[in-house]
Amino acid sequence: MARLNSVIGALESGQHAFAAFAAPEPAAALDFATSDYDGLVFEAEHKPWDATTLRDSLQYLLNRRRIFESGTLAPSPTPLIRVPVNGAEQGQWHAKQALDLGAYGIVWPHISRVEEARNAVAACRYPRLPGEDRYDPPGLRGDAPAAAARYWGLSNDEYYAKADVWPLAPDGEILVVIQIEDQLGIENLPAILEQVPGIGLILIGEGDLSQELGVPRQLDHPLMVEARSRIVKICHEHEVVVGHPHVTTSNVERVLDEGYRFLMSAPVRSYPGLELGRKLTGRS
């Protein structure tokens, strides 16, 4: 059976996966509904958390024609959600609501410690009896699958079989992404990757990391280059995918050369008719 999560499908097959952030609003979802991104991360960390609007955004992202022509139930792009809470807050309810609405993955901001990473993975899994294979960290997610199963196009039982975290569960379709955004997170990253199975990829949080280093948004500053290099090296040593959040035409070749496999590239709006018209009428 084809993957329902296109991001997992790309990474699992050794390819690169492409994604973008978007406001959790129906208008933004419509803009992305015909794009070629593998995944779309609805941004609810720095945007208002509104479960009703988020639910509508997930629906507007679905494009029936594309799903029909693909011959699978997989949405394109695959919706993920970045939740509001930092790792130290040990939040679970935002992830629970996002998954219950049908999200295929959760992006957890500001993970700095092993226990925070364990909570992130556990919040995305249903509980099972102790001793079952591949069931650590044990699940903490509450049981309310109906809306998510409907969104995925599955029965409840089929959803249960797929609603686990990859790659810990090989058939799982839920992607757990943790962001490393400070020096403590970098120091603890080897222990996190050694002690917490179920992390699908690491995404570097360049904004917060640059703030802590005293070079806000100076993404090419030597301190930032060195910090990113440390994260990439640790991820490669532990064979975990690492993602870059700010991919542009000017840095994409370097990003690929450095070994990133999850590339977040923001779309750019252009107005060629307006620009040419203003030029021709002397208003440019």
Domains, the chain, in order of start with CATH, read 6-280 (3.20.20.60)
The rounded radius of gyration (Å) of the Cα atoms in the chain is: 19
Q: What is the pLDDT of residue 84?
A: 97
Task: Tell which residue, 127, 56, 132, 134, has the closest CA to residue 96.
Answer: 127
pLDDT digits (tens, 9 = 90+) for 24-69: 999 999 999 999 999 999 999 999 999 999 999 999 999 999 999 9
pTM listed for this prediction:
0.95
Average model confidence (pLDDT) for the chain?
A: 96
Cα–Cα distance for residue pair 46/38, rounded to 1 Å: 22
DSSP state of 216: T
